[in-house]
């Protein structure tokens, strides 16, 4: 038995693409419920431009009203120093910067080149080191880019290593459009782990083609022990057209428990959280495990 860390990204990645405004109280209820079922890292919101991502316009209210559970980390996305400072004023003590392995996606998502994105991150790292704030790093488009097509593992390794050297405690590899397969994930990890220790890597697999759980298994077999997931499989990035949500947290937990891993997450309770959020959004639970376990309860 070993431990796998799950980074729950539902309140951020899961909701950022929702068109209807979700009340701040609902977001806070979601975050609280996720903590109650045992999730220990809950990505809460983003300190980005509300013009670009209207759903996170209430980032300050979310962070200021957050009732923190002991032992739970609540990272938030910060694209630049302004975002970092706003996040700190709102009470954030863990942030994430997000880079891309594709130039085109970097331009569309954060309106600058990869090089410029590192210049924007530099003051975040400086302040974070002084403030004792931990910084997570994301690399988007690790398999392919919605604008450029396939992305070479070499490019991913370069960006991942740069984030690590800049001070990130962990690098989350994002298959933003969910086109990866176990074969591509193996090739990717083979290359990236030459520069970044496997213990510093997290898998962030969107599930557009239904491959996310298989991709986790491939990464797990190669030693990755941290995975991002989103309750109910919510999510998508507004700048990655057609991409669906992340791997559903309940699908991940179901598989990990069967592999003998400890996650600390109560699976039935997690399915209740997926059902709560699905009801709030006015649609059925999307995840396979969620639907199966809910159906079992009524049969």
Is 237 labeled as catalytic in the residue annotation? yes
Q: Tell the smallest beta-carbon distance from residue 53 to ligand HMG (Å).
A: 5
- What part of residues 166-195 is at the interface with ligand HMG (CB under 6 A)? 174, 176
In the complex, what is the shortest distance from the CB of residue 140 to ligand HMG, in angstroms, rounded to a whole number? 3
Q: Is residue 94 at the binding interface for ligand HMG, with CB under 6 A as the rule?
A: no
Q: Which stretch binds ligand HMG (CB under 6 A): 42-50, 64-72, 153-161, 264-272?
A: 42-50
Kindly state whether residue 13 participates in binding Mg ion, applying the rule CB under 5 A.
Answer: yes
Which of 80, 208, 215, 286 touches ligand HMG (CB under 6 A)? 80
Residue choice 47, 74, 125, 254 for contact with ligand HMG (CB under 6 A): 47
Here the tokens at position 290 are 């969620």
- Binding piece for ligand HMG, criterion CB under 6 A, among 22-30, 103-111, 155-163, 195-203: 103-111
Q: Which is nearer to Mg ion, 178 or 290 (CB)?
A: 178
215 binds ligand HMG (CB under 6 A): no
Under rule CB under 5 A, residue 43 binds Mg ion: no
Q: Is 52 in the site for ligand HMG (CB under 6 A)?
A: yes
Catalytic residues: 237
């Amino acid at each position: 038995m070993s431990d796998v860390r799950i980074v729950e990204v539902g309140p951020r990645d899961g909701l950022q693409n929702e068109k209807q405004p979700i009340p701040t109280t609902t977001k806070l209820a979601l975050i609280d419920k996720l903590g109650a079922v045992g999730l220990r890292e809950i990505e809460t919101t983003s300190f980005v431009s509300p013009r670009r991502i209207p759903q996170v316009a209430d980032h300050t209210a979310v962070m200021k009203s957050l009732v923190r559970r002991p032992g739970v980390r609540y990272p938030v996305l910060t694209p630049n120093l302004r975002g970092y400072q706003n996040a700190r004023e709102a009470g954030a003590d863990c942030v994430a910067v997000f880079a891309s392995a594709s130039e085109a996606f970097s331009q569309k998502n954060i309106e600058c080149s990869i090089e410029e994105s590192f210049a924007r991150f530099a003051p975040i790292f400086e302040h974070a080191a002084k403030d004792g704030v931990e910084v997570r790093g994301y690399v988007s488009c690790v398999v392919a880019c919605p604008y450029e097509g396939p992305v070479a593992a070499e490019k991913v390794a370069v960006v991942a290593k740069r984030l690590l050297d800049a001070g990130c405690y962990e690098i989350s590899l994002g298959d933003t459009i969910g086109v990866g397969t176990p074969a591509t994930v193996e090739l990717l990890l083979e290359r990236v782990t030459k520069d970044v220790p496997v213990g510093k890597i997290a898998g962030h697999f969107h599930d557009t083609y239904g491959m996310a759980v298989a991709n986790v298994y491939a990464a797990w077999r190669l030693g990755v022990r941290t995975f991002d997931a989103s309750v109910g499989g919510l999510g998508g990035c507004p700048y990655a057209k057609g991409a669906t949500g992340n791997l559903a947290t309940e699908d991940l937990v179901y598989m990990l428990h069967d592999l003998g891993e400890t996650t600390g997450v109560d699976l039935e309770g997690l399915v209740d959280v997926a059902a709560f959020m699905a009801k709030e959004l006015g649609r059925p639970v999307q995840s396979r495990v969620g639907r199966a376990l809910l159906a079992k309860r009524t049969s």
